[in-house]
Structure 1
């Protein structure tokens, strides 16, 4: 790996530099970071390639490794630390109530606020205090590709801006609603950090009370979305599209609810990621007619 040597404390400052190969992760040891370099730019050294990691699955959010599920063995934890050299390793045991507050265990090092870069977007968050939907990466990219400049979009469960930021950067006007005050603070900060304050407006509170007017697209990225479908359908028109997340395929139920609201719809189901044994996180694209 072609790399440049920089102080580890400077990683956030050079994250957007043209020479940084963002498809690869820096190697950090002590206070020094070896940052991958894109072709066509000079490098300080050529590091040997790492062996393929075959251990316990995790996500690197900023410089903190996040994992879910059962407790780790000492060997699994050591393998993660050796592979990605994180500031900390955090196990998320679950999420509490509608605010999706993570219940966490810090297994190594320290955690706290991070600056996470993904697909050209910047997200500030504290993964011990708010949820980060790392597994929805492909869905975020899909939404960014689907929206058209000028669309009016409702993001009913905005969180820290997982879908709000990509949609706004694609030119949409996003009404972003979030009930968790901590997540909302990060949402506001991320709107500013990504320079979309002219296209994204955050609002704190229950989305059922905040929906207003008619939307071209409604993002419903929560597993309780189906229970709030009637609220969303009160703010759509012919041609509007809703993206309804669920565990398992809920197409037939959605068609019934749409019919009860006086519309018809074309419903297409997509798998987002594996949720558990014999269960998938799904998203239903619902086009109103």
Structure 2
């Protein structure tokens, strides 16, 4: 075979984007030693981020994926995994420190939680997750990686009861992330801190819309955007980029 079909390898499971013929399946089985081949049939959508799949070969959809020295147990029939975020997961893993309290508002199975907790060793990391399946794997992944500084919480992050506790907040979600900014500022410490804000945005307004949204919600909640860096992660769809803004906020001093 001249060319191998494109795939993503998650543990010992292959994810492909099209149907394969018998020759292609045999070729992938020989070259990758996988146990299952799965086709993702649509974009992953919805607040629970559940993929729609078709099993092309094999039966088992649960695997343990190793990345950047971390282990992630996942069922690819129930939960998403984005290889396009690999560099961002590695980058974010060393961005904190052992003096910080971190809140991951969209933890999933621990995509960002696990590497950050392992390599930055923050004092405390609250991992919030809405999807019960993701939460259960988050619990397993905390144990797999022997982490003692992560507090997993199942439920809507809008109901997270603690206020002004976070030095740093992770917002690893796209499409409607800006709708959660007011809650993020409620969680951020009074004196300010960092928010890593993900957004999908047309290429022509990458430098404008995310920053305007951050400034608006910051001032609304008594903060000022002191500094920021825009990181391009990947192309989300034609003309649309997935970006992460590393934003530093300070308390907005009011005139007496």
Question: TM-score band (shorter)?
Answer: 0.7 to 0.9
Conserved? CA contact 1:96–1:103, under 8 Å: no
Q: Matches of residues 226-245 of structure 1 in structure 2 within 5 Å?
A: 226-237=178-189, 238-245=191-198
1:145 matched to 2:83: no
Q: Structure 1, residues 217-262: CA drift from partner, whole Å, max 9, x if none?
A: 1000011221100110112133410011111232222222222222
Conserved? CA contact 1:251–1:268, under 8 Å: no
Conserved? CA contact 1:111–1:128, under 8 Å: no
2: CA distance between counterparts of 1:235 and 1:201?
15
TM-score of the two chains, using structure 1 as the length reference: 0.76
1:103 matched to 2:52: yes
Conserved? CA contact 1:152–1:216, under 8 Å: yes
2: CA distance between counterparts of 1:254 and 1:211?
23
Q: Structure 1 residues 257 and 55, CA, compared in 2 at 3 Å: closer, same or farther?
A: farther
What corresponds to 1:89 in structure 2? 37
Q: CA deviation at 1:86?
A: 1.4
Runs of 4+ with >4 A deviation: 75-79
1:218 matched to 2:166: no
2: CA distance between counterparts of 1:239 and 1:76?
53
Conserved? CA contact 1:267–1:287, under 8 Å: yes
The DSSP-based 3-state class of the residue aligned with 1:149 is coil
1:171 matched to 2:121: yes
Match of residue 19, structure 2, among 53, 72, 85 = 72
Q: Structure 1, residues 113-134: CA drift from partner, whole Å, max 9, x if none?
A: 1011111101111111111233
Conserved? CA contact 1:255–1:267, under 8 Å: no
The DSSP-based 3-state class of the residue aligned with 1:157 is coil
Conserved? CA contact 2:37–2:58, under 8 Å: yes
Q: CA deviation at 1:150?
A: 2.8
TM-score of the two chains, using structure 2 as the length reference: 0.85
Structure 2 segments unaligned to the other structure (5+ residues): 251-256
Which structure is higher in RCO with an 8 Å CA cutoff and minimum separation 6? 2
Match of residue 263, structure 1, among 187, 198, 223 = 223
Report which stretch shifted further, 89-98 or 180-189.
89-98
What corresponds to 2:153 in structure 1? 203
Conserved? CA contact 2:192–2:223, under 8 Å: no
1: CA distance between counterparts of 2:20 and 2:14?
15
Quote the RMSD (CA, aligned, Å): 2.0
Conserved? CA contact 1:211–1:232, under 8 Å: no
Q: CA deviation at 1:76?
A: 5.4
Q: CA deviation at 1:109?
A: 2.1
1:246 matched to 2:199: yes
Q: Structure 1, residues 23-42: CA drift from partner, whole Å, max 9, x if none?
A: xxxxxxxxxxxxxxxxxxxx
Structure 1 segments unaligned to the other structure (5+ residues): 1-50
What corresponds to 2:254 in structure 1? none
2: CA distance between counterparts of 1:96 and 1:274?
16
